[in-house]
Each structure stands twice: as structure tokens, then as C-alpha cells.
Amino acid sequence: MARIVESVPNFSEGRRSDVVAAIADEVARSGPVRVLDLSSDPDHNRSVLTLAGDPEVVTRALEALVAACVARIDLRSHRGRHPRMGAVDVIPFVPVQGVTMEECVRAARALGERIAARHGLPVYLYEEAATSEGRRDLAAIRKGEFEGFPEKMKDPLWKPDFGPERVHPTAGCVAVGAREFLIAYNINLATRDVEVARRIAKAIRHSSGGLRFVKAMGLLLEDRGLAQVSINMTDFRRTPLHRVFEMVRSEAERYGVAVAGSEIVGLVPQEALLQAAEFHLRLEGFDPGKVFERRLEEAASGSVPAPVGGRPAGPGVPDAR
Amino acid sequence: MARIVESVPNFSEGRRSDVVAAIADEVARSGPVRVLDLSSDPDHNRSVLTLAGDPEVVTRALEALVAACVARIDLRSHRGRHPRMGAVDVIPFVPVQGVTMEECVRAARALGERIAARHGLPVYLYEEAATSEGRRDLAAIRKGEFEGFPEKMKDPLWKPDFGPERVHPTAGCVAVGAREFLIAYNINLATRDVEVARRIAKAIRHSSGGLRFVKAMGLLLEDRGLAQVSINMTDFRRTPLHRVFEMVRSEAERYGVAVAGSEIVGLVPQEALLQAAEFHLRLEGFDPGKVFERRLEEAASGSVPAPVGGRPAGPGVPDAR
């Protein structure tokens, strides 16, 4: 099985499409990395690349990304609605397949050290790669943003993990970390009453007493006239999609409100959806290795798996072959 | 995207493990075919191979299988609990990816013609490859079994589609066809009363007024003390898993019986489980291309997808990157 990490670097350019394209192009040409997605938001003035591949390949792509962004982005003239502290603002490593979180932490630290040395960038390690509890949270690191960092860095508490103790004049600072796969999941309610969505968000999110790996807020979808519980699932293996959905449904019922539907923003790992199928179909002893596509991928040609005793598939109903 | 068909040939040897291994080995060595599974049942005295690959590669593997079985299996001395009419009893082609049913029908006919000529085997085309309605059903073709075929073939109605109008002395006849992916799916009830399972099976199966692509029977799992509805789903795209599950649950409720669980025997296509997740999570506009693994497979390295406007994933909850 191929070793695969995902990385979702965010960089501070979402308006000049030629600059975004040039940066993405240098990433793609760095080696056999796979570029799964590129999303730019002019309002945020920010872009997000989704990369995947072998850890070494992804690391090389990220080095190319940092060089391209440092050369092309000047934060002194950058304005946008999303908070940011760097030309490359944040770089997470995410274990996907055949790679441990520990390896992602090591990859994040190695990359951080290298880009600090090469570009004179202050680097902060966050989440699983953080060097202290106070640096786990990305929002806490980014607080003050590019403009506030010269002041913030005077505090020894905010000495960077790598690089100089002063902000890069045009490229700011960068956060590099390791985390679980993040699923952006929204549940729409059959009501215009945003207050219901806010109360449900409060009930399900970790920060106010809810599920361990859930962040949530309530908002109104003006165009559809529906209230929405907007959710970030930060560890879908431990807090699965179907549990969040069932909890939202049950909380909504208490207000006499039905769930109109749900949506996944961006990509979702197959496993997260298989978990939901397994739960609702009450599958006994389900093994993802029974998924045809998985078995196909694992089966090497030219070899035969050990014969399995017992009856062939479909024991109950003869003659369906 | 690679073109992939599945084939699940059944052959009449499930006791002599050296013979089964020799046959499977010749199949594996025929070319770059993938052998996903091999199951032997001594009671049935029958084995089932699950093969996948490009249509040409699978066809070559099946030719090797037929040659190996004709050389090693003598039906005159074969006894087993499963009905059979040939050394290789049945060969279905199943479209999986990038291949139409029409192409599978053509592959079945081409293989049938070739093995008839090479081994002097009478070949009957069945299901989607059948040349008349009366030959769609495998059970109808196989009726009479090896021992009854000399008599059966005197009827012009049972003239084979390819090959001689007499049974092969040791290898009998073979059915070659094309069909949709078959899912063997069992739902267990929290009761010992097999009559409940039988009534539910009757309610859900096509033959007695139920769902179009469902075959089902009720039986008792002696060891677990549970009644089971044993199901073959013959077209999961048009009659999906979750609809069958919900119907069984609702019918069981009418007898005051709960669903204890369900199980999938053998392999299941990813799409069948994603359908269930989509249904139960009420996903709006779900696109299987949003599954991370799918996107990964599709993304060529060295290229960048067209930039997507709009906000990056996770619009509602800032700072989760």
C-alpha cells in the first residue's frame, strides 16, 4: 500500500489569478505530487491547495510552494477578510494511508526547520506538532496577524520554533503542523430561525460541552432561507459523521424542526462514509477489506489468495450466479 | 480510468485442495489478472474464484480456467450438494468500471464461442447475454444437471448457443453470461421464529410482489438462534441496500421483531455503501468524486485542476485549518 499524506497549505493570494496559477504551477512541477484541489476566495484574498502523495514528495512540493509565495506575495499590501500572518499562512500534514501521525509530526518539524533556514521565516509548530500546549491552537498563534507580529514577538512566550525572532518583512510568519483529516460538514434545518441552529451548534460542539472532535456554529443561508449548523469535524474516526448527524436531528426535534439535508464541503475520506453505512445498516463484523475497490487495489496480479473454507457467497439463495 | 470487469467463475471441485490450487494457479499465471478471492465449499464440492481486470485479461484468465478444469475434473464421479451441469459450471462477466453491459455481453459471447470450439463444450448464454427469454435464468438452464443433460438436449429448445449438441463426456456443459454485480446480503432478526423471516422474504422479493432486483428466502441460523432473511441483490443501483434494509425493518416491526444486524457475504462495491451513507445522512448533491480516495486516483501528478471560485472548505468555522 502506497504511503500517503495530505497537505492543505493556505496562502495569502486569492485575487490575482495569474499569481495563484503561477504558484500552483510551481508546486505541480516540483515532482510527482498530486494536486487534488485548488480553491481561491477573492473575499478572503486567500487560496487553498490540496496536495497528496508520499511524504517526501509532498514535502518537496511544499518547499516549492513556500519559495513561490515568498517571491510573489507582499503582505504589506495584502487585504482580505480572513485572518492571516504569512504569505504562506498555514501548512498542515495529514496522515491518510500507511503513515502515522508521529511521522507527520516529524515531517512538519523538518519542513519548518528547512524553510526557516532558507527564507529567514519565523516558523510556529501547531496542533500535533506543537512544542507546548499553548501553541496547539492555530488561532492563538495567528492572533495579532501580520501587522501585530512585530509587537507580539517581543514576548519570549512567542519566540518561534525555528527561524529568526523577527517577522519576515514581506512574507510574515508561517504555522506548520500535523493534524487529523478535517471534514467540513453542514447540516441544513427546515427553518429560517437561525437561533435554533445556534443552540444546536452549542449543544454539539466540544467547547461548550458537546462532542470531543466537533467545532460548530449556527448561521442563516439567506438564499435558501434555511438555518444551518456549520461543522468542522476534527477527528472523524473518534467522533463519526453519523453520530453528529443523529445528535443534530435529535436536538432539532426538540424545537419541532426537521433536518432538510446535509452537505460535505471539499473532500471526505471514504472511511467516514463507510462508517455511516455500517452504522445505519447495522453491519456485523464489517471489514473495509470487503469493499470491492479496496480488494482490487490490494490484489497483486499473478498471485492467488489462500483458499477460504466455508460456503461461497450467497449461501441462502441458490442459483443467483 | 482503467477498464475493469469482474468475473466469478464457479467450478465443480471443492474437496481436493491440490486440484483447486492447481486450477487457481493456472488462472493466476495466465496474465496480469487479479485474483480477489477463492472460496471452496467441500459440502457443495464447488469453488468460486473472483477475478478482475481489463476485459481481455479476464477473458484470457477464463480460457486458462476452462482448460485447467476440463483437464482435471470428471463430472461422472462428482458428488456435491450444489446443483451443477459442468466442470466449469458458470461464468459471468460483470461490468465494474469504464465498461458497459453491452461490452460484457460481447465478451461472454466471444468467450463462449472460443471455448466451445476449443474443447467441444456445449455453451449456454444466460442473463444479459441470453439469446432468448427462456435462457435468461441460470436455474432453468441448469435444470436436470449433468446427469440429465443427454436427455434434455434431445429437445431442440435446448440446443446450445455454441458447441456440439451433445454433452462433453467428462466436463458437461457451461453457462456463460453477463450480469450486474451481485451482492449477497443477510439481515438477522432478533427472533428464533423462522416463519417471520420467511414471511419477510416473501414480502421483499421480486418473485412474490416485492422489490424488482431482490431474491430472498428465510432461514434459521441454528448456532446463533436467530432467524435470517438471506438476500441476493441483483442490481444494487436500481434496488439499493438501504431500501431493502428499511423494508425488512418495517416488515419485522409488524411482528414485533427487531433487526439484530446485517452482514455482507463476499465483496461489495464501494458505491453500494456510499448510497446508504448518502441516504441516511440526507446528503444534498452528493458527488462520489468528493471521496478523497477517488479524487486521489483521478488526479494525475504534475497537473493542477482549474481553480474553483468560492470559499475554501469549512466556511462556517474559521481557524480550523
Report pLDDT digits (tens) over B78-130.
Answer: 998 889 999 999 999 999 989 999 999 999 999 999 999 999 999 999 999 99
CATH of residue B241: 3.30.70.670
The CA-based angle B268-B271-B276, given to 5 degrees, is 95
| Residues of chain B contacting A231 with CB distance shorter than 8 Å | 316-317
Mean pLDDT, residues B209-238: 92
- Does residue B123 sit in the same domain as residue B198? no
Check if the interface score ipTM surpasses 0.85. no
B31 dihedral zone (left: phi>0; alpha: psi -120 to 50; beta): left
Question: How far apart, in Å, are the Cα atoms of B11 and each of B47, B234, B293?
Answer: 5, 21, 35
Contact B52 A82 (CB under 8 A): no
Could you give phi then psi for residue B141, rounded to 5 degrees? Answer: -65, -45
Could you give phi then psi for residue A7, rounded to 5 degrees? Answer: -140, 140
- Does residue A9 sit in the same domain as residue A138? yes
Among A152, A178, A204, the domain boundary falls at A178
Q: Strand A226-233's sheet: what is its strand order?
A: A214-221, A226-233, A183-189, A259-265
Statement: residue B44 has pLDDT above 60: yes
What band does B321 get if pLDDT is binned at 50, 70 and 90? low
Among A124, A150, A178, the domain boundary falls at A178
- Does residue A155 sit in the same domain as residue A44? yes
Minimal C-alpha gap between A1 and chain B (Å) = 13
A284 in contact with chain B, both atoms CB, cutoff 8 A: yes
Q: Please tell me which of the candidates A36, A228, A314 has its beta carbon nearest to residue B265.
A: A314
Best to test chain B binding among A293, A294, A308 (most B CBs inside 10 Å): A293
Cut 0.80: pTM above it: no
Best to test chain B binding among A249, A281, A308 (most B CBs inside 10 Å): A281
A221 in contact with chain B, both atoms CB, cutoff 8 A: no
Count of domains in chain B? 2
Among B155, B178, B201, the domain boundary falls at B178
- Does residue B130 sit in the same domain as residue B278? no
What band does A82 get if pLDDT is binned at 50, 70 and 90? confident
Minimal C-alpha gap between B170 and chain A (Å) = 22
Exposure string over A174-196, b if 16+ CB within 10 A, otherwise e: bbbbbbbbbbbbbbbbebeebeb
Contact A305 B38 (CB under 8 A): yes
Statement: residue B318 has pLDDT above 50: no
Q: Output the pLDDT for position B286.
A: 86
> What is the residue-averaged pLDDT of chain A?
91
| Catalytic residue check, A280 | no
Inter-residue contact A12 to A87 (CB < 8 Å): yes
What would the DSSP string read from start to end of B156-205? GGG--SBS-SS-BTTTB-EEEEE-PPPEEEEEEES-S-HHHHHHHHHHHS
- Does residue B57 sit in the same domain as residue B195? no
Residue A243 belongs to what domain range?
183-293
Report pLDDT digits (tens) over A93-113.
Answer: 999 989 999 999 999 999 999
A1 in contact with chain B, both atoms CB, cutoff 8 A: no
What band does A315 get if pLDDT is binned at 50, 70 and 90? very low
**Catalytic-labelled residue, pool A82, A206, A242, A280:** A82
Contact B277 A281 (CB under 8 A): no
DSSP tally for chain A: helices H, then strands E:
9, 11
- Does residue A63 sit in the same domain as residue A148? yes
Q: Please tell me which of the candidates B32, B83, B268 has its beta carbon nearest to residue A292.
A: B268
**CA proximity to B63, closest of B180, B176, B151, B157:** B176
- Does residue A38 sit in the same domain as residue A162? yes
- Does residue B115 sit in the same domain as residue B38? yes
Statement: residue A311 has pLDDT above 70: no
Look up residue B180 and give its three cell numbers. Answer: 450486474
- Does residue A155 sit in the same domain as residue A51? yes
**CA proximity to B217, closest of B225, B259, B239, B204:** B204
Spatial separation of the C-alpha atoms in residues A295 and B149, rounded to whole Å? 38
Question: How far apart, in Å, are the Cα atoms of A46 and each of A38, A89, A280, B302, B306?
Answer: 11, 9, 38, 22, 16
Inter-residue contact B96 to B269 (CB < 8 Å): yes
**Catalytic-labelled residue, pool B44, B82, B119, B206:** B82
A217 in contact with chain B, both atoms CB, cutoff 8 A: yes
Q: Please indicate, yes or no, if residue B278 is contained in any of the structural domains.
A: yes
- Does residue B34 sit in the same domain as residue B140? yes
